[in-house]
Amino acid sequence: MLNKDSKIYVAGHRGLVGSAIWQNLAQRGYTNLVGRTHQELDLTDQLAVRRFFDEQRPDAVVLAAAFVGGIMANSLYRADFIMQNMKMQCNVISEAYAHGVEKLLFLGSTCIYPKEAPQPMREDCLLTSPLEYTNEPYAIAKIAGLKMCESYNLQYGTNYIAVMPTNLYGPNDNFHLENSHVLPAMMRKVYLAKLIHDEEWAKIAADLDKRPVEGVDGSATQGEILSVLAKYGIYNNKVELWGTGRPLREFLWSEDMADASVHILLNVNFSDIIGHDRYSSVHFGAKTDGAVDRNHSEGRGGALPQLGEIRNCHINVGTGKELTIRQLSELVAQAVGFEGEIAFDASKPDGTLRKLTDVSKLHSLGWTHSVEIEEGVGRLFRWYGDSLQAGG
């Protein structure tokens, strides 16, 4: 059992989810938290990860670090998306096992599910039909990660839990136009289109100084700024968005995701997911001088035929609610105070048309979301405005 003094390593503690998990743990009184920036620890470097675990020996690990992006980034950097994520996952999970980590929480994504998955998507629809092509490399990496957790649990009796969040948004979101997700990208586009119309060039310069676009910052000429923003569908009082606007999407506030993650980390075991009666022989977190005993027979649940097939042990984390991209754009325009035109370019891909999660398993484990999308969009825009004023 983890206690307030347990050392918890949060991989990706500066990111959207990792930072929220760190804050949630701290608010609950868990102060022995460990984090490393990418510059301090490259998780794709196996030897560096091993040295880190040798030195720190955490009791628990939250694997929130990932190489992520939207449709454009997924299309351009397919090799990076599969290789970088696979390296990080393999290094962290294998070293967690080698160093006897008591509990590990792996964060994936609902893009693991088939493109034509029945809606809402239950955990057991995994690997039942082809994936969406545009994000296939990332999805395969995340499927491999959840299967690593599942397989280590079955072979060695570890207590590694995989959670699959829906589309996330919130404080510390990525607003860089080249590689951000749909909501922050849309919000920034709408905001800049409004500023162009209002001729608020000082605010545009502040925005570009904070997050340059293709190397163009606030020192560029107005012509240079307008030219680069037009490449991303940002004009005077007009925004062009990819696709038809018809796809349905589910969104979860990142601090809600963090609360769900910490709830699962502290209160949910692998045996709770698959049933104590099927897996009562497993001794979770068995340590022998700081390391799991590889030959510990009680941990070899996967070798027992009477258990039957155990799969799909991951947990969907979402709201179970959805809205269209067009409806989302209207919420964003309202939050920003934008009264211009939002146009959809139907020649660009929509991606998967519907991705609603079934959150029955999550609810049965004692957690439900609290922030609805209407409130969350306004919160996100306020955070974005504050981040620009903070500078740097």
State the pairing for strand pair 323-324/248-249: antiparallel
Q: Give Cβ neighbours of residue 323 (< 8 Å, ≥ 6 apart).
A: 248, 249, 251, 331, 373
Cis upstream peptide for 120 (omega within 30°): yes
Q: Which amino acid is at 230?
A: A
Neighbours of 43 (CB within 10 A): 25
Q: Looking at 9, 97, 113, 138, which residue is catalytic? A: 138
Which of the 8 DSSP states describes residue 211?
S
Residue 161, CA distances (Å) to 95, 279, 290, 377 in order: 16, 15, 20, 30
Q: Among residues 342, 81, 70, 376, which one has the least CA distance to residue 252?
A: 376
Known catalytic residue at 138: yes
Would you say 218 and 205 are in contact if contact means Cβ atoms under 8 Å apart?
A: yes
CB proximity list for 51: less than 8 A, separation 6 or greater:
none
Nearest-angstrom CA–CA distance, 295 and 46: 24
Buried-exposed string 59-77: b where 16+ CB fall within 10 A, e elsewhere: bbbbbbbbbbbbbbbbeeb
Tokens 């620890």 -> residue: 41
Angle between helices 78-98 and 46-56 (to 10 degrees): 30
Measured in degrees and rounded to the nearest 5, phi and psi for residue 238 equal: -145, 140
Q: Which residues are known to be catalytic?
A: 138
